[in-house]
Amino acid sequence: MLARPLALALALTVSACATSAPPAKPIVYTGTPQEQWEQGQAAFLAWSAARPGWKTTDSGLQYHRLKAASAKAPKPEPGAVVTIHYVGRFIDGRTFDSSRDRGEPATFPLTRLIKGWQEGVPMMRLGETWEFVIPAPIAYGDRNRPPIPPGSALQFEIQLIAIPAA
């Protein structure tokens, strides 16, 4: 009598093992340390683009709305001055800059910012919060901007607080 339930439990355990995915193969990076860094950035961008709810523009900018505003809320023009709160992170989650940590939003013209922000912020409506993943070519590219290494993809959470001239 005990043999039948035991056999069923064993069969279910074995079948469960057969349906789980095999472990992922580790990624092997080659080349110089900078080339390996860039390969890791590319792997993250590919993973990030496949996340549910994320969209990617032709330039490679990835975005996801965290908090929506009214459809009637204004959007900034591409050259507008904006007031925002932001948190900038490396792809491993470490924060490298944050207006929130300083306790004060930042105000600046979009034309003075990296291309990823120049493209992404005008898509937002006043009051919205979005997440962006910005590939190196539309972030800081190959420039060394400590603490940001050359060739870095960056993550930003941006809250559009005001469009002063609007």
* Lowest-confidence pick of 34-38, 115-119, 158-162: 34-38
Beta bridge partners of 130: 65, 158
Which residue among 44, 90, 91, 114 is the active-site one? 114
Percent of the chain with pLDDT over 70: 86
Q: Is the pLDDT of residue 119 over 80?
A: yes
Q: What is the pTM of this model?
A: 0.82
At 34 the pLDDT is: 86
Say whether pLDDT at 12 is over 70: no
Q: Which class would CATH give 31-162?
A: alpha beta
**Does 96 qualify as catalytic in the annotation?**
yes
Tell me what the mean pLDDT of segment 156-163 comes to.
Answer: 98
Mean pLDDT of the chain: 89
Average pLDDT, integer, range 25-31: 83
Q: Which residues of 50-76 are buried (b: 16+ CB within 10 A; e: fewer)?
A: eeeeeeeeeebbbbebeeebeeeeebb
- Of these residues, 44, 90, 91, 96, which one is catalytic? 96
Instruction: Please check the confidence at residue 23 and state whether its pLDDT lies above 80.
Output: no
Catalytic residue selected from 84, 134, 138, 140: 140
The average pLDDT across 52-73 equals 97
Query: Over the stretch 79-88, which tens digit does the pLDDT of each residue have?
Result: 999 999 999 9
pLDDT band of residue 7 (cuts 50, 70, 90) is: very low
Domain ranges of the chain: 31-162
Task: Check if 140 is active-site.
Answer: yes
Q: What is the mean pLDDT of residues 18-34?
A: 74
Which pLDDT score is estimated for 163? 97
Please identify which of the residues 63, 84, 138, 156 carries the catalytic annotation.
Answer: 156
Residue 146 reports pLDDT greater than 90: yes
Where on the phi/psi map is residue 24: left (φ > 0), alpha (ψ -120 to 50), or beta?
beta
Task: State yes or no: is 114 an active-site residue.
Answer: yes
Of 86, 132, 134, 163, which one is the catalytic site residue? 86
**Is the backbone of residue 151 left (phi > 0), alpha (psi -120 to 50) or beta?**
left
Residue 21's pLDDT is what?
55
Q: What is the 3-state secondary structure (H, E, C) of the chain?
A: CCHHHHHHHHHHHHHHHHHCCCCCCCCCCCCCHHHHHHHHHHHHHHHHHCCCCCEECCCCCEEEEEECCCCCCCCCCCCCEEEEEEEEEECCCCEEEEHHHHCCCEEEEHHHCCHHHHHHHHHCCCCCEEEEEECHHHCCCCCCECCECCCCCEEEEEEEEECCCC
Mean pLDDT for the stretch of residues 109-119: 97
Residue type, 22: P
Catalytic entry in 44, 91, 97, 148:
97
Look at residues 71, 68, 97 and name the one whose alpha carbon lies nearest to residue 85: 97
Is 63 annotated in the active site?
no
158 counts as catalytic: no
